[in-house]
Copies of this chain bind each other. A is one copy, B any other.
């Protein structure tokens, strides 16, 4: 049985999932969050389903002894490639991803339009997986979809470039203009890094395009799940500094993570623990052996 005081695990290939943490903080300010950024093996977006699934399994195994009340796969690629297999591997843990909430929000944003056009951008692996297409078609048969992998946006954001950098404008124009010309009604930001460029994307798309932030929608979805399960943590008597409720874990011990993370979060990180991929692998192997015996 999960307790309301148990932590929420949020995992991502690197920094992008911190946009989900920021949205979770707004929706549920009292939760204790354990964030895992797999920075030694980032990015996931150019890798295969088998590889990404084994990475995610190792990360969840690492947190089993913390008995999380919920696990959020805060990465579109990992959700697209690994979520079904991961739910089978951990049947007793409540696990959610970013794609279903994003797809649901995209369909709602289409309103009453008869044949809406939905643009979707993401990593190569997310787009190739067709996960958004499936999730949207289940809800709305007649939506037309335009999909585009936008692999430079993650490295552009991780380089810390600002929205008014001419290279950012050119990359967004190259990737998005063909969709905007075809009069999309909705644009799904299918990668948790992309909310960092939401302002210039909305400016380029114009006021008639609804831009869907999958990080925000994912956080709302988690809040709804925990509320209906009676697992929301109640407010403490004294006001708590939000940075005390967040513990970060990374697989690479470089100084990059902490330096870039506050930009994603909106507040500084207090605690960041290095976990080697060797340790992840050993724990996963021990669990497989226990399960087999």
Contact = CB atoms under 8 A, between A and B. Distances in A.
Contact of A152 (B39, B155, B251): B155
Contacts of A281: 277-278, 281
B167 A54 contact: no
A286 interface: no
Interface stretch (A41-49, A97-105, A262-270): A41-49
Contacts of A124: 256
A151 interface: yes
Nearest to A159: B151
Indicate how many identical chains form the complex. Answer: 2
Interface in A41-90: 41-42, 46-48, 50-51, 54
A192 B219 CA distance: 41
Contact of A159 (B42, B152, B254): B152
Interface string A114-145: 00000000001100000000000000000000
Contacts of A152: 152, 155-156, 159, 167
A42 B167 CA distance: 24
B39 A47 contact: yes
A51 B251 contact: yes
A158 interface: yes
Contacts of A156: 152
A50 B159 contact: no
A252 B170 contact: no
A26 B171 CA distance: 37
Given A54-B278, A151-B155, A278-B54, A256 B46 contact: yes
A111 to B, nearest CB: 35
Given A152-B155, A155-B152, A253 B171 contact: no
A166 interface: yes
A158 B46 contact: yes
Given A41-B40, A47-B39, A256-B46, A166 B170 contact: yes
A94 interface: no
Interface of A: 39-42, 46-48, 50-51, 54, 124-125, 151-152, 154-156, 158-159, 166-167, 170-171, 174, 251-254, 256, 276-278, 281
